[in-house]
Structure 1
Amino acid sequence: MPTTPRNCNNTRGKMEFFLEILSDIVRFLFFLLDVVLDIWAVVTFYQEEAYISMGVLIFVLVGSSVLVQAFSWLWYNYDSKLLSEEFEFLKKYRNRGLLGVLHVCQLGVFLRFASMMEISLRNRNLSSKDGQKEGIVVFLSNDLRLLRLIETFSESAPQLTLMMTIIVQREEVEWVTGLKTLGSFAAIISSVVMYHRATFKAKVKVKMTWMPSLVYFLWNFLLIAPRLAAVALAASTLPYGMIAVHFLLLWITFFLWAWWQKTDFMDTKTGEWLYRGTVALIWYFCWFNVSHYDCRGRGFMYRFIIAVDSAILLGLWWWDCAQASVFGISAWVVLVCVGSSYIVGIIVNVLYDKLCHPKRSAAKDKSDTDDSENILAPQKACLGGETPSMDEAGMDEAGIGPIKAPSPPPPPKSLTGAQKRMQRLADIF
């Protein structure tokens, strides 16, 4: 017998479920591998008596972990009632004291991954009747991706800068620095691409191809790489204390800018201040839009500030080593490559906005929907007859009586924390 469409849908659903579980497991394994590499790097720096590098690395690891756990804890507080009512696994952790202890022990991410696996296994045969549960799965997955993005720019990006600084200073690539460099680079790639795909899908409501994500990653990489290179080159010659002061001053500036934009992402004032500080941290490395208004103007202003700041850092590095080289490459060549990468990144960014941005797909989908409604309008009239007209007294042409007005739509339900976060990220994307 030929395969029915229902069987095809079931097979496709099982395949998507399998790929989703597999991707979650792979990401979790890479997370564990990153933890092992972190411990190895700390031990190696201790054995080499590189205490400054070891201290910087420990500070970055601990600070990033505490930041991620804080966001996870706040989000669980916002959503704990809804989630615990829907999923058995989280009912065990309705006690906020136990949930807080797990986050203090830096196990919040493990808890979220375990709950996601439990949800996926218990709801692998989701149907249209289980739309609410399916939606919660999507929101939880989106929270994990956002936590991963925060971890990327609070841990992976600083780690990559530190490893690049050590490589430039020693002019050799050791096993630990090489693996940590590749690991941090892979973390930035995966988090940026997965965040783009999740936000794009939430905005456009359609399954997207990989091409927009690749273009999105390309312009981000071409802008992030020269920024990391500028900081690393400056840190290779300047004292670490001067780099710390530079970071603090720029972070305060970005923090005040985020406050001036009146962000409204978290559900509490304390959480909102934490979010603004995190946005300022991300802005030190990469642009992250947080407002609906004048996005292009603010994006241009940000890139101008970063370009000037990076030029100053590169100028300080060149002043100290104008006659030196990096792995045999002249300082002038390094400056040209870094500057060219930033310019090409801006060009690719403009092309992405013109060709691949979700707003273009959303506009196209809206236009297609309007056209289809216009085409189907005559068919609806033929099937149901012409719509009866209303006279001044509100009677139909047959004089039977007033035509009943359609009942008003039910009031929209208030968004939960996870729904609100996903919607706002999609809107400002």
Structure 2
Amino acid sequence: MGSGDELRFSLHDLIFICLGLATFLFDLGTDVWVVASFFEAGDYFWAGAVLLVVLFCSVVVQMFSWCWFAGDREQLKSLSNSGLLPPFKTTVGDGALRLLHGLQLGFLVRYITALEVGFRMHKERDTVGLQYIIYLISDISMLRLFESIFESAPQLTLMLYIMMLKNQMKLHQCFSIVASFLSIAWAILDFHKSLRSSLSDKMHLNFKSALIYFIFNLLLICPRICSIALFATIFKHYVLLHFALICLPMFIWTCQQGTDFMNNIPEEVFYRGAVAVILYFTWLNVAAGKTIIRQIIYHSFLAVDCGILVGFWWIYRDPVLTASYTLPLLIAISSSYFLGVIVKCTYYKYLHPTLTADLLTTDETDILQEVGFRSICESRPLINKRMQILSNCFYFSKPEGNRRCSNMEETKI
């Protein structure tokens, strides 16, 4: 493999895996702490609500994990039988995997496998091993993104709703809220980093770019969740209606983009539904096209939607009970969102590691120039087809749909 196709797995990448596992376990620990605290306080309804959100998220993540395991089974077995995967890199048996996913441990098994292989690859620099570890962490980053959005975002909304409803702030609730916000921003950063891990060295995020990317996602996700929680304190029966009214067009929009991410039609519909839920909270690009125009439309729509939610809360709130935090909260929500947009624009103009990164003057900020993902992958026996699809859609601007994007001819853009 030439230098333009050089893969790297450094100590920095291994640390990212460890931090990802740490945040996952930390999230899980705070969930248990919150549920136990509600039970001890006699708030069985809220304890059950938080527990239901956690279990639902876990089931969704395990379903995605198992579908990907099942879809890649033949590829991994073929490479193992041909000697391209050493014995220690083979996967667990199908029966054991099915059982582990049924016990909600499939995601954790992926992390443990990645750590085992990662520690070995930190010493053994063989090409296939590097491809395998990148293959593993790509799936982990996507599952971590699903886990954070499906669990942390609704749980955050619920926790903020409870705090505002009871007009009190407990230590364990504040701790869980801060941890969940950081976890979501970290998951988005980790996904973005994994999206680039299959590209040439010059495309990798440096520390400054990663930090700014983390900050603007944190700034954008906070006001979105806070506005939903505020609306819920007054119109709790209409939150699900609002969720459906936003997710339905997002689902239709995702379908119209012609995604081809999963192995069959039912799984693809499931994936598109998951994308719609993610778009309810934060931005995710899943198809080739004019990314900048989409982001402008999306963030403008979200700003208007958040404004409407907060506006209804402002009109119907109890002015006495909310007097202590109304003005600071409104200032924090509005300034956080607009500051997040400004930081995001700054990131894409000055720090985004592409050859054309001018957010204000071009529709092709995320184009990979001079070398395509397909040309990189042709020299590898093992690639993660899901990351291949998303990388192509993220770095190529031709609106040809995911299937065509993954099979596009090698060109210089």
Quote the Cα distance in structure 2 between the aligned partners of 1:292 and 1:118.
Answer: 35
Q: Quote the residue 1:236 is aligned against.
A: 233
Q: Quote the residue 1:78 is aligned against.
A: 71
Asked whether the equivalents of residues 204 and 358 of structure 1 are also in contact (C-alpha less than 8 Å), the reply is: no
After superposition, what is the alpha-carbon deviation per residue over 1:346-395, rounded to whole angstroms, capped at 9, x for unaligned? Answer: 222222222223433699999999xxxxxxxxxxxxxxxxxxxxxxxxxx
Q: CA deviation at 1:222?
A: 2.2
* 1:65 lines up with 2:58 in the alignment: yes
Q: CA deviation at 1:41?
A: 1.5
Quote the Cα distance in structure 1 between the aligned partners of 2:166 and 2:132.
Answer: 49
Q: Quote the residue 2:342 is aligned against.
A: 347
Quote the Cα distance in structure 2 between the aligned partners of 1:115 and 1:27.
Answer: 13
Quote the Cα distance in structure 1 between the aligned partners of 2:248 and 2:370.
Answer: 46
Q: Identify if the C-alpha distance between structure 1 residues 114 and 292 changes in structure 2 by more than 3 Å, giving closer, same or farther.
A: same
Say which is worse superposed, 258-267 or 206-215, in terms of deviation: 206-215
Query: What number of residue pairs does the alignment pair up?
Result: 369
Q: Identify if the C-alpha distance between structure 1 residues 415 and 264 changes in structure 2 by more than 3 Å, giving closer, same or farther.
A: farther
Quote the Cα distance in structure 2 between the aligned partners of 1:110 and 1:246.
Answer: 33
Question: What is the TM-score when the length of structure 1 is the normalising length?
Answer: 0.77
Q: CA deviation at 1:203?
A: 4.1
Q: CA deviation at 1:165?
A: 1.7
Q: Which of residues 20, 37, 43 in structure 2 aligns to 1:27?
A: 20
After superposition, what is the alpha-carbon deviation per residue over 1:44-82, rounded to whole angstroms, capped at 9, x for unaligned? Answer: 223333344223212210111011111111111122233
Quote the Cα distance in structure 2 between the aligned partners of 1:365 and 1:280.
Answer: 24
Q: Identify if the C-alpha distance between structure 1 residues 93 and 243 changes in structure 2 by more than 3 Å, giving closer, same or farther.
A: same
Q: Which amino acid in structure 1 is aligned with residue 234 of structure 2?
A: T
Quote the Cα distance in structure 2 between the aligned partners of 1:23 and 1:348.
Answer: 23
Asked whether the equivalents of residues 248 and 276 of structure 2 are also in contact (C-alpha less than 8 Å), the reply is: yes
Say which is worse superposed, 190-199 or 83-92, in terms of deviation: 83-92
Quote the Cα distance in structure 2 between the aligned partners of 1:428 and 1:176.
Answer: 41
SS at match of 1:264: coil
Quote the Cα distance in structure 2 between the aligned partners of 1:138 and 1:64.
Answer: 25
After superposition, what is the alpha-carbon deviation per residue over 1:7-50, rounded to whole angstroms, capped at 9, x for unaligned? Answer: xxxxxx99x44x55555344334433332322222222233333
Q: Which of residues 263, 278, 290 in structure 1 aligns to 2:274?
A: 278
Q: CA deviation at 1:260?
A: 1.2
Q: CA deviation at 1:116?
A: 1.6
Q: Quote the residue 1:209 is aligned against.
A: 206
1:6-405 alignment runs, 5 A limit: 16-17=10-11, 20-84=13-77, 85=80, 86-88=85-87, 91=90, 93-94=92-93, 96-127=94-125, 130-206=126-202, 207-239=204-236, 241-321=237-317, 323-324=319-320, 326=322, 328-329=324-325, 331-360=326-355
For the aligned residue pairs, the C-alpha RMSD in angstroms reads 3.1
Larger Rg: 1
Q: Which of residues 371, 384, 398 in structure 2 aligns to 1:419?
A: 384
Asked whether the equivalents of residues 89 and 118 of structure 1 are also in contact (C-alpha less than 8 Å), the reply is: no
Asked whether the equivalents of residues 73 and 108 of structure 1 are also in contact (C-alpha less than 8 Å), the reply is: yes
Q: Which amino acid in structure 1 is aligned with residue 140 of structure 2?
A: L
Say which is worse superposed, 284-293 or 346-355, in terms of deviation: 346-355
% identical aligned pairs: 31
SS at match of 2:354: helix
Quote the Cα distance in structure 2 between the aligned partners of 1:77 and 1:323.
Answer: 55
SS at match of 2:287: coil
Quote the Cα distance in structure 1 between the aligned partners of 2:209 and 2:14.
Answer: 24
Q: Identify if the C-alpha distance between structure 1 residues 333 and 225 changes in structure 2 by more than 3 Å, giving closer, same or farther.
A: same
Asked whether the equivalents of residues 87 and 119 of structure 1 are also in contact (C-alpha less than 8 Å), the reply is: no
Asked whether the equivalents of residues 153 and 281 of structure 2 are also in contact (C-alpha less than 8 Å), the reply is: yes
Q: Which amino acid in structure 2 is aligned with residue 28 of structure 1?
A: L
Q: CA deviation at 1:286?
A: 0.4
Q: CA deviation at 1:333?
A: 4.6
Q: Which amino acid in structure 1 is aligned with residue 341 of structure 2?
A: I
Question: What is the TM-score when the length of structure 2 is the normalising length?
Answer: 0.79
SS at match of 1:93: coil
Q: Quote the residue 2:409 is aligned against.
A: none
Q: CA deviation at 1:153?
A: 0.6
